[in-house]
Amino acid sequence: MPLKSASTFFVIPARRNSKGFPFKNRKLLDYTINEIPIELHGKTIVSTDDEEIIEKLSHTGINVLKRDEKLCLDDVNIRNVMMDVADKFDMNPNDTIVMLYLTSPDRKFSDIKKILGYYDERKIRTLTCCVEPKTHPYLCLYKKEGEKGEQIVKHDLYRRQDYPECFEVRHFICIFQVGEIQKLNKNMYNENTVFYKIDNDMDVDYENDLQEFIKSNTIKE
């Protein structure tokens, strides 16, 4: 059923398959769902092809969109998934999507509220989070044959203090107007995107990452 009365939607992509971490989204789902206030469940949409997730959410007020098989292939980009969600829920170009990957289990709703407030106050059309990179790109090389290398960024600087400031994209929270989706690249940003710097560097791609997160939280408790 279209949600015409709301202007801000919380969209959670939760594809079933994950080659690096089987059923990753099943194991990570609760960390995000439990942070969303009940009064916002009607504005929350989970796009998934996972029957277990669909069944689990069927007893909540959260909207579930059964994702088409063609949008579940390994080479499908998240931009097309967001376009599908916007179309199926009859969203307007000025509506806002807050996209929440499940790979940030330590993300709190206070984080979402803070960054969404920043987005709204500055009338931004597209925002993505970023972190300070562990390695500056000026120190990175393409690997070539014969154990040789070539600079990724051509430069002749020696002192690190002369390197330009840079950051690494982190999809901790992505916010964008529906009308901007087609203008975004496959990593969900473009030349107009504002990058919001965060200190959080948690990104669960493999099961070991999740185990480390669980272990660290057990120690804190």
CA end-to-end span of the chain: 42
Q: 3-class SS at 92?
A: coil
Contact call for residues 97 and 9 (beta carbons, < 8 A): yes
For the segment 31-74, what is each residue's pLDDT rounded down to a tens digit?
999 999 999 999 999 999 999 999 999 999 999 999 999 999 88
Distance of alpha carbon 187 from alpha carbon 18, whole angstroms:
18
Domain 8-130+167-220 has CATH 3.90.550.10: yes
Q: Which two tokens stand for residue 9?
A: 């939607």
Q: Within 89-199, where are the H helices?
A: 109-121
Contact call for residues 36 and 109 (beta carbons, < 8 A): yes
Q: Where are the domains of the chain?
A: 8-130+167-220, 133-166
Contact call for residues 16 and 50 (beta carbons, < 8 A): yes
Torsion of CA 140, 199, 38, 204, to 10 degrees: 40
pLDDT tens string, the chain, 221 residues long: the values are 444 544 899 999 999 988 789 899 999 999 999 999 999 999 999 999 999 999 999 999 999 999 999 999 888 999 999 999 999 999 999 999 999 999 999 999 999 999 999 999 999 999 999 999 989 988 999 999 999 999 999 999 889 899 999 999 999 999 999 999 999 999 999 999 999 999 977 899 999 999 999 988 875 54
Q: Within the chain, where are the H helices?
A: 24-33, 51-57, 78-88, 109-121, 207-220
Contact call for residues 53 and 65 (beta carbons, < 8 A): no
Contact call for residues 107 and 200 (beta carbons, < 8 A): yes
Q: Which residue type occupies 130?
A: C
